[in-house]
A and B are shown apart, each in its own frame.
Chain A
Amino acid sequence: MISNEKILNKYPDPRRENLIPLLQEIQELHGYVSRETIIEIGSHLPLPASKIYGVATFYNQFRFNPPGKYHIQICRGTACHVKGSSNVLDMLQRELKIKAGETTRDGMFSIEVVACLGACGLAPVISVNGEFHADVSSKKLQLILKQLRAKDKGNG
């Protein structure tokens, strides 16, 4: 694992306003906030693990599981909401049998809810590993997942 030391040293005080950028940088580095990093942050600041977890769960952006091979971000901004993104999220969760913030057991897929992907013209929009898919409907979603699964099999 890459060392968190550099990031930690940038934030010496146990203040909430420090904790959030710290968590952001850590997540940037590892893709998620692990148990180990919470322990590390806790002894660095110092702050109890329950507090760090509490603050982190207040925001949607933090995840506590390693992202899947295909990390699916789903936009829940206003435009996407109006175009039915909550149905898309429901479908996705049902289809993959995980909730937003979780990763499938085989490590293939993970879901993240984001406030706005900044592509309102494409609503409702999802992004798979950074690649945007516009106008997502139930049918389209199933197709996307099918293609991803097939692609993975093809790769062996």
Chain B
Amino acid sequence: MKRIYRQLTALALGTMLASQAWAFGGFNLDLNKIISAGKNLSEASKEISEPEEISIGEGMASVLLGAAPLLKNDAIQTYINQVGRYLSLQTERPDLPWHFGVLDSVSVNAFATPGGHIFVTSGLLKKMHSEAELAGVLSHEIAHVLRKHHLAAMKKAGGMGFLTDVASIAVDQKGGGGYAGKELSKNLISGMKEILVRGLDKDDEYEADRMGIVIATRSGYDPYGLPAVLQTLDGLSGTSDVSLLFSTHPAPASRLDTLSGLMQSKFDHYQGQSVSDRFRRLVPNGGNN
């Protein structure tokens, strides 16, 4: 626990620094807000700011891209951004800087990082049959961002002192403490990896399933896209390609059981599109099992 806490503290500090290292979005941290949070404990227990959230997410996205690069297919990368951005417009956070990417990996998985970075592996994409299935998976990941599930996992692991430490580190930064050197950045990175490897709260995964189905349905897709992918994943259990996915999520069969009653009573009267033609043009070997 102590080790994780230290990593998370480093993660928070690194996030400050990351705003320079990964400053593509052109945002700035609101240091004054963090400093005042440090002066007031009840304030400090509030959520961290959106720019911080985005900054943490950019760092985690960069780590993920260090594990597997983007698939070298510009048409697919543009396509997933179009589908994902459209889905994000049907949510309560349409103005986050949403970014979507297909990772070049045989592993079957999808990831989100705070503030709007969403990833699907090419291995998972090839198992899908339609745009509605892709929309279902993206919507599940979008829900993790909407509900700040990763930040909740960090808070849970880091304890109540986490945010006050963020604040005090921010003060140091403002005072010209500067970059603490390579050791820090190593700690920062391992803190991010810790969250990626440990996964999220199981209840948050079920919540993301429920919300994901709603977001896809709102967008006009077949509500059963996500359940169809879960059915495919269930059929892959026992293979090595799904080992990380299975260790970080409830079993697909449990997720399907949980959705079963909900789908029948709530979603059967919605007509949605599966949009399989253009999906198959872009992912010609889709549906491979």
Q: Do A and B come from one complex?
A: no
